């Protein structure tokens, strides 16, 4: 796996019971996954020679992030390296402009959008629709809301163009909530769909994921799963595909974005589904039969743990574990910095309000924003 973040760390963990020999390309020995994996190459994923040397002897290469340059992936594929998902699919997770065009061509419902050239063009885009506000996104390099701007006039529209990356304009969707439809597809064309989840963002960062999405009609839930399966098949995705969706106030689904790797909206599956997203991603890229995606409890809630003022969260384990023996803590081994995602907790049970409260309490206590 290329990339040493927490997704690689948890994918590696899922491979241990299967005895899968897991090799990692990581930027530094301190990265989350590099701390846990024994077969680590330290190197730069932007360097083709490093990638070539790393891929030697690998049955398949897969990814913790979407930042490996497409031309390098093409070169590796030409060398005969098996890359899953392949570059033609990955392009749609790398570039929001490419993704939007492809989805539009496939008839997938998306927010109104187009590539804009400068602030004056943003004003034109606004006038073509319902006016401001308009959402601007750099087509590459964004994550956790970085690279996304909500602008209300031409002056505010100047910033996104400074990065020198093409800028995509989108209508500001009046959504009632955000959902994610997660599916996994194998080279055989087998696919599984997890229950559709609700994801709650705070300041552009995913805070809570509820599985399944509360009060989602059977019809919309099936629509979301079918949409995700259709996108996976049309784009030829192998592995885990997260389709982030907006549920609009008038009951429609619009696709926000795609991730072709395990995803934060699927972390609940570690404790809440028969087969986790990480185990199924591995099975898919190895072309093994996929595991059962069904939930194990009526409700599972994933709450992200963000860094606070205390660098050592271990001290908080005593209270969290004593208060809630059912709590599942997943920490990433990252240095604690204010606002940084350093772990998550999963809680599950029959009563959604209770399951949410337990997750919220643990995340806040670990962060240090509450003390009892
Ligand atoms: P990132 O790549 O940083 O995750 P996203 O495209 O997912 O960026 O956008 C981050 C967040 O910004 C979304 O989760 C959503 O809350 C908000 N957002 C993005 N696009 C729109 C839009 N067209 N209308 C309204 N809100 C949006």
Contact 364, 371 (CB under 8 A): no
* Ligand 1 neighbourhood includes 247 CB (under 6 angstroms): no
User: How many whole angstroms from 344 Cα to the centroid of ligand 1?
Assistant: 21
Is pLDDT of 148 > 90? yes
Where is average pLDDT lowest: 109-123, 146-160, 240-254, 327-341? Answer: 146-160
Question: Could you check whether the bond before residue 85 is cis, i.e. omega within 30 degrees of 0?
Answer: yes
Whole-angstrom distance, CA of residue 160 vs CA of residue 121: 13
Pick the CATH number of 175-367 from 3.30.750.24, 3.20.20.140, 2.130.10.10, 3.30.470.20: 3.30.470.20
Is pLDDT of 142 > 80? no
Coil, strand or helix at 134: strand
Domains 112-171 and 175-367 share a fold: no
Q: How many CA atoms lie within 13 A of 37 on its CB side?
A: 33
DSSP sequence for 343-355: EEEEEEES-HHHH
Q: In which band, very low, low, confident or very high, does the pLDDT at 137 lie, cut at 50, 70 and 90?
A: very high
Q: In which band, very low, low, confident or very high, does the pLDDT at 144 lie, cut at 50, 70 and 90?
A: confident
pLDDT recorded at residue 145? 72
Contact 148, 133 (CB under 8 A): no
- pLDDT, averaged across the chain: 97
Q: In which band, very low, low, confident or very high, does the pLDDT at 204 lie, cut at 50, 70 and 90?
A: confident
Single pTM value for the model: 0.97
User: How many whole angstroms from 192 Cα to the centroid of ligand 1?
Assistant: 26
What architecture (CATH level 2) is domain 112-171?
A: 2-Layer Sandwich (3.30)
Q: Hey, which of 145, 205, 254 would you mutate to test ligand 1's pocket, going by the most ligand atoms within 8 Å of its Cβ?
A: 145
Q: Hey, which of 129, 147, 148, 173 would you mutate to test ligand 1's pocket, going by the most ligand atoms within 8 Å of its Cβ?
A: 148
Coil, strand or helix at 360: helix
pLDDT recorded at residue 41? 98
How many angstroms separate the Cα of 185 from the Cα of each of 290, 311, 326, 363? 8, 39, 31, 32
pLDDT recorded at residue 29? 98
For 191, phi then psi, to 5°, come to: -145, 150
Q: In which band, very low, low, confident or very high, does the pLDDT at 156 lie, cut at 50, 70 and 90?
A: very high
Whole-angstrom distance, CA of residue 170 vs CA of residue 156: 15
Backbone CA torsion sign across 305, 307, 310, 314: positive
Q: In which band, very low, low, confident or very high, does the pLDDT at 353 lie, cut at 50, 70 and 90?
A: very high
pLDDT tens digits, residue range 26-60? 999 999 999 999 999 999 999 999 999 999 999 99
Whole-angstrom distance, CA of residue 73 vs CA of residue 90: 9
Whole-angstrom distance, CA of residue 157 vs CA of residue 134: 9
Nearest atom (ligand 1) to Cα of 171: 23
pLDDT tens digits, residue range 277-323? 999 999 999 999 999 999 999 999 999 999 999 899 999 999 999 99
Angle of helix 87-94 versus helix 96-105 axis, rounded to 10:
110
Mention every residue, 6+ apart, whose C-beta is less than 8 A from residue 130. Answer: 171
Is pLDDT of 354 > 90? yes
Q: Which residue has the tokens 């974005």?
A: 257
For 6-83, CATH gives: 3.40.50.20
Contact 51, 76 (CB under 8 A): yes
- Length of the chain equals 372
Q: Within 10 A of 161 (CB to CB), how many other CB atoms are there?
A: 18
Query: What residue segments make up the domains of the chain, in order of their start?
Result: 6-83, 112-171, 175-367
* Ligand 1 neighbourhood includes 201 CB (under 6 angstroms): yes
């Amino acid at each position: 796996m290329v990339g040493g973040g927490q997704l690689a760390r948890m994918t590696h963990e899922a491979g241990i019971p299967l005895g899968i020999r897991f090799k990692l390309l990581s930027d530094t020995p301190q990265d989350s996954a590099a701390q846990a994996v024994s077969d680590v190459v330290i190197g730069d994923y932007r360097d083709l020679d490093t990638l070539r040397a790393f891929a030697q002897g690998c049955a398949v290469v897969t990814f913790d992030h979407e930042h490996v340059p497409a031309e390098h992936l093409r070169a590796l594929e030409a060398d005969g390296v098996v890359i899953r998902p392949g570059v033609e699919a990955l392009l749609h997770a790398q570039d929001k402009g490419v993704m939007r065009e492809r989805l539009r061509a496939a008839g997938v419902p998306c927010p109104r959008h187009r590539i804009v050239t400068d602030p004056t063009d943003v004003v034109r885009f606004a006038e073509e629709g319902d006016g401001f506000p308009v959402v601007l996104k750099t087509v590459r390099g964004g994550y956790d809301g970085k690279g996304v701007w909500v602008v209300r006039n031409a002056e505010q529209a100047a910033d996104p163009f400074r990065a020198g990356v093409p800028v995509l304009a989108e209508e500001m969707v009046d959504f009632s909530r955000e959902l994610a439809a997660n599916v996994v597809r194998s080279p055989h064309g087998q696919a599984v769909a997890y229950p559709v989840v609700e994801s709650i963002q705070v300041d552009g960062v995913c805070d809570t994921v509820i599985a399944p999405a509360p009060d989602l009609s059977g019809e919309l839930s099936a629509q979301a799963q079918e949409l995700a399966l259709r996108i996976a098949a049309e784009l030829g995705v192998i592995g885990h595909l997260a389709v982030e969706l907006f549920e609009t106030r008038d009951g429609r689904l619009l696709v926000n974005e795609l991730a072709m790797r395990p995803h934060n909206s699927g972390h609940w599956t570690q404790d809440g589904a028969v087969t986790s997203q990480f185990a199924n991603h591995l099975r898919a890229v190895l072309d093994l039969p996929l595991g059962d995606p069904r939930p194990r409890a009526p409700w599972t809630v994933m709450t992200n743990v963000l860094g606070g003022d205390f660098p050592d969260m271990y001290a908080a384990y005593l209270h969290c574990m004593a208060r809630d023996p059912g709590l599942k803590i997943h920490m990433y081994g990252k240095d604690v910095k204010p606002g940084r995602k350093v772990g998550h907790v999963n809680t599950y049970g029959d009563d959604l309000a209770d399951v949410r409260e337990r997750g919220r309490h643990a995340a806040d206590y670990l962060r240090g924003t509450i003390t009892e």
